[in-house]
Structures are given as C-alpha cells and as structure tokens.
Amino acid sequence: MTLLNNTKDYELYDDKDEIPEDMGRFHATCHRENPCKKVVHDAEMENPAPWELPGKNLTGDKNYVILDAEGKGHYVGCVLNIDNFDASNQEFTWLGEGDDMFFIDGEQWPPSIHGTGTEDYFNAAWGFPSGEYAGPYHGISLGSDVQEHFGKWSLYRFHIEDPIRFNTSIRATIEHGHANDQGNDYSSVAYWYHPEPHKPLSELPPVEERLPRRWPEHGLWDK
C-alpha cells in the first residue's frame, strides 16, 4: 500500500477582527452571454483554407469578459462553458481560435498577456483531440464532437502555479472565435483573491435565462 502525504498550509483566527485588512479573500463570479455578438469580417483572399480566417481584433472591446475586477489581488482561474450551437452557420466549425487577453492595471491595447487561442489557454491544443480529460490544473470536463466540435463544451484552467497578479485592476477576456467571428452561447465562473471591499458584481439573470439550450431528438439546437 502506498501512502500519499497531502499537506495543507492554513491559519485559523478565533476572531475575524484579527484578520489583516490587506489579506486577500476568495471570490467567484458568474457571467453569461447568450449568444455572444458575432463580428462579421470581409473576405481577405480568394478560396482560403478553412483555417485562414479574415479579420483582426486590435482592441479586445468585443471579447467575452470572464472577469472585470478592481483592487489588488491575483486571478486563479476559471471554468468556461461554450455551447457551439451555431457551428453550421460559421466559416469554421472549430471553436478554439479565440485568443485569451488579460488587461492588467488599466492597460489599453495591446494587453501584456495575449494568448494564441482558446485551446492553448486551456492547455489542450490541436483541436481538443483527446476529448474529455481531467488534469490537476486544466482539463475538459464536458466534451462534444471532437471532429466537428458541435455542441456543449466545459473547460477549466486553474492558475495555481502561475497566478496572474494585479495591483489596481484586471480585465480577463477571451475571443469568441477568431476575432470574435462566432456567435455562440458562452458562460463562465471566474476565481480570484483580493481584499474587501470588491467592485459590485453583476446580478445573476433570471433562472429561465440561465438554463442550457436543449438538444432535441431531431438533432438540432433550439432555445
């Protein structure tokens, strides 16, 4: 029998007044855009390959927002859900071309952290070939069609070994498709630490607006 030593480091306070004012508190917030607003780009070449997509995103203004927080703290990850229901109306059914962009401490374009695609941010590049898998800090907890990528996906990435720190603010975003050219259903939960008080969070929408889309027996998506 192999015994694993799992050590946790923590401190207990008998009185909440003993907690330092600048100690970071754990926060979480939900967000959803159903659907994201698709940006249509003019064609830039004749007979392009499926992955040669037109358009550039040079502001990040229309990205999906995972977290918008003010204060000093560090971002420790998120769960991102994508319902690729509009795949049949897209130039490219693949949902993973959206870049992650982190605007730190009031940055304007370009952000100091600019990734190379959704699949790269979640450390599962080349089209999520494995489908569902569970790693300690990243994984795919719900995977759909690994060939055409239709349907629902749920991805997670935890910045335990590589926290993203900020002193005054953070705006964590990700494109929905290449240069925001896809109009699918995105939802997320972001996790971060910073001292109280925190910036007011957006209110949750009514329950009926938080329900997932159905996939009827006839194989099409509806609301």
Decide: helix, strand or coil at residue 144: coil
| Nearest of 192, 184, 188, 222 to residue 204 by alpha carbon | 188
Q: Which residues pair with 100 in a beta bridge?
A: 174
pTM of the model: 0.88
Domain boundaries, the chain: 27-37+55-198
| Nearest of 61, 30, 32, 57 to residue 201 by alpha carbon | 30
**Residue 216: its pLDDT value, please?**
57
Distance CA 73, CA 195 (A): 7
Superfamily of domain 27-37+55-198: Protein of unknown function DUF2961 (2.60.120.1390)
Distance CA 56, CA 39 (A): 10
Phi (first) and psi of residue 151, to 5 degrees: 85, -160
Cβ–Cβ under 8 Å, residues 8 and 173: no
Question: What's the burial of 60, exposed, middle or buried (CB within 10 Å: 0-12/13-18/19+)?
Answer: buried
63-121 pLDDT per residue, tens: 999 999 999 999 999 999 999 988 878 778 888 899 999 999 999 999 999 999 999 99
Distance CA 143, CA 155 (A): 8
Higher confidence at residue 147 or residue 118? 118
Distance CA 117, CA 65 (A): 15
Distance CA 218, CA 223 (A): 14
153-199 pLDDT per residue, tens: 999 999 999 999 999 999 999 999 999 999 999 999 999 999 988 88
